[in-house]
């Protein structure tokens, strides 16, 4: 019986250490800062009348036209925030594309 007590003690300590390491890993994920200069895009859309309506429509509706910080599990918008429905739809489409291309 002493062998099982030692094994149980080692397993308990290992589980606590693993939980602590997982907490550290999730709290310190790598962040990617993506800066979008919307004024330059608006200026380009103003100069090119052919793509003007499409770009301006996408500029206000698509999440990738906004400055954002992207982490492992989150996307944060430090300045302006895009409409929320488009974010979820576009991210789901990206995930499906990545899965189907793999």
Number of folded domains that form the chain: 2
Based on the fold, state whether residues 35 and 25 are members of the same structural domain.
no
Co-location of 84 and 66 in the same domain: yes
**3-state SS assignment for residue 68:** strand
Same domain, 76 and 87: yes
Asked if 25 and 39 sit in the same domain, the reply is no
Residues 63 and 94 both lie in one domain: yes
Q: Does one domain contain both 64 and 96?
A: yes
Residues 84, 35 within the same domain = yes
The 3-state DSSP class for residue 65 equals helix
Does the structure show a pLDDT above 70 at 11? yes
User: What pLDDT, on the 0 to 100 scale, is given for residue 14?
Assistant: 96
The pLDDT value recorded for residue 18 is 95
State the alpha helices, DSSP H only, in the chain.
2-27, 38-47, 52-61, 84-101
Could you give the count of Cα atoms lying within 13 Å of 5 in the half-sphere of its Cβ? 2
How many Cα neighbours within 13 Å face the side chain of 90? 13
Same-domain check for residues 22 and 44:
no
Higher-scoring residue by pLDDT: 32, 72: 32
Parent domain of 37: 31-101
């Amino acid at each position: 019986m002493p062998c099982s007590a030692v094994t149980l003690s080692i397993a308990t300590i290992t589980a606590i250490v693993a939980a602590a390491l997982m907490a550290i890993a999730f709290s310190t994920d790598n962040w990617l800062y993506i800066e979008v200069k919307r004024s330059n895009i608006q200026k380009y859309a103003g100069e090119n009348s052919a793509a003007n309506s499409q770009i301006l429509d996408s500029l206000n509706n698509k999440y990738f036209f906004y400055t954002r910080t992207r982490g492992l599990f989150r996307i944060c918008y430090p300045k302006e925030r895009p409409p929320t429905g488009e974010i979820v739809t576009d991210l789901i489409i990206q995930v499906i594309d990545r899965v189907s291309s793999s």
